[in-house]
Amino acid sequence: MTDHYDSGDPGRGGCERCADDLVFPEVEYRTAAAEYAAGDLAHAAVHIGFALCAEPDRPEWLALLDRLVDEAPDPLALVPFQDGEGSFLDAALRGHVLHRLGRIDEALDLLFAAAEARPDIPFLVWAPGWVSTPAAAASVDIDLVSSFLAERLRRHPEEPVADEEGIEELSDALPLARALFDAGRREPLFVFLTAAINRKLGRAAEALRVAEEAYGAAPCYLTALALAYAHESLGREERAQEFFARALELEPDRAPVGLTADLHDAAG
């Protein structure tokens, strides 16, 4: 993923008229709408960004941001940005602009960075919509997504996850994984990670469905391992041992020795 971004002040984008502290998001939205009506798209983008910090999935607020991007002569100029410099909000908004321009991988990279900087703001709610078409889902760099999912899993090794932070972090990541899986992405590491997130959230039956579909399409070490862990979570020890053994048959040099080790092994 790209560099980390400041998790503190979202920044003001050089807007002198925005010197006051962040006010109510509804006020920010109305200010953005007024700036848009006046033709000042750059300042409108600053204010709609502040509003979206409070409710990233508010439909009418996202619709205004989309209009700004679609009508701007230079959409990227709405969020001046240099990689590794700027705030979490700059990263999130720039990601949204790049999504509207069809640059999905760059958009996801920045969105992941914003979500890591401020996990308390559910920016990831945007991601499933970005990959909602078959063409968009097929174009995604699945290694980028897998790296992001693996990092969240590594931070929360317990199963099932019991702490509130872990539940929120994995729950926020799951819709994107589900959207890509439902769109037909079946890369083994991605499948393994998607099944693992489901299991850690207490969704063992869904983990089993994901693993079975992927294993049925392309049996391999990681899809067999995903099946083994899913059966284990459901208390089916004999079936779990069957697929642990099957994983070893497929790749004898890679012994399954636990999820954390498997994550490092698979990613390597």
Instruction: List the domain boundaries for the chain.
Output: 1-130, 139-268
Which residue, 153, 236, 165, is CA-closest to 196? Answer: 153
Query: Which CATH superfamily does the domain covering 139-268 fall into?
Result: Tetratricopeptide repeat domain (1.25.40.10)
Amino acid 24: pLDDT: 87
d(CA 92, CA 70) in angstroms, rounded, equals 17
Amino acid 252: pLDDT: 87
Amino acid 114: pLDDT: 96
Q: Is the pTM of this model over 0.95?
A: no
Residue 40 · residue 58 · CB < 8 Å: no
Helices 142-155 and 188-200 sit at what angle, rounded to 10 degrees?
Answer: 30
Residue 111 · residue 121 · CB < 8 Å: no
Selected residue with higher pLDDT from 13 and 188: 188
Q: What is the dihedral of CA 6, 118, 97, 31, to 10 degrees?
A: -90
Amino acid 80: pLDDT: 87
Amino acid 144: pLDDT: 98
β-strand partners of 6:
87
- SS3 for 36? helix
Q: Is the pLDDT of residue 162 over 50?
A: yes
Q: Is the pLDDT of residue 14 over 60?
A: no
Q: What's the token pair of residue 214? A: 């992927």
**34-80 pLDDT, tens per residue?**
999 999 999 999 999 999 999 999 999 999 999 999 999 999 999 98
Q: Is the pLDDT of residue 267 over 50?
A: no
Amino acid 3: pLDDT: 52
Amino acid 86: pLDDT: 77
* Confidence band for 268, pLDDT divided at 50, 70 and 90: very low
* Confidence band for 16, pLDDT divided at 50, 70 and 90: very low
